[in-house]
Amino acid sequence: MSQRSWPCSLLTVGAALSLAACNTNETMRVMKGELPPLGGSLEGGPWLIEDLNGGGVPDNARLDLTFEPGDGDTSRVQGSSGCNRFFGRWTQNGARVSFGPLAGTMMACPPALMDIEQKFLKTMESVTTVSFDVTGAALLKSTDGRTIKIRRETPKTG
């Protein structure tokens, strides 16, 4: 290697190591579950609830949400809360999001479904922020630490 190309080679290796370090830091955050928040919109759906306050969702419960954009006070959210159908207002401004008041049908269901439904609806009304991770999931968060992880339902083919 000539003396002239040595600094350029060193610079190239340094840049590659810096990029690898950035990538390693990102990989470590993903492995720890600390995904970087990404911007996005909740509009559309349906979104399926994957996790409610760190406790998952019972196999026999379908909890989903669809966000209709509307106009100002006419933006509506609707879906299944495990046992009943629910609906209400929602707004999103960047990472800030709010829901409510929420209302729903009042059918009786097995106690486990009624319990998950109540937890879901109470958490929804306390949500104040949303972040999106690199996997496409959205994390709805309340100020007291409660969370709902949702993911857009993939269309069934065939």
- DSSP structure string for 4-41: TTHHHHHHHHHHHHHHHHHHHHHHHHHHTT-PPPB---
Residues lower than pLDDT 70 in the chain: 1-39, 72, 158
pLDDT for 3: 57
Q: For residue range 38-49, list pLDDT tens digits in order.
A: 568 899 999 999
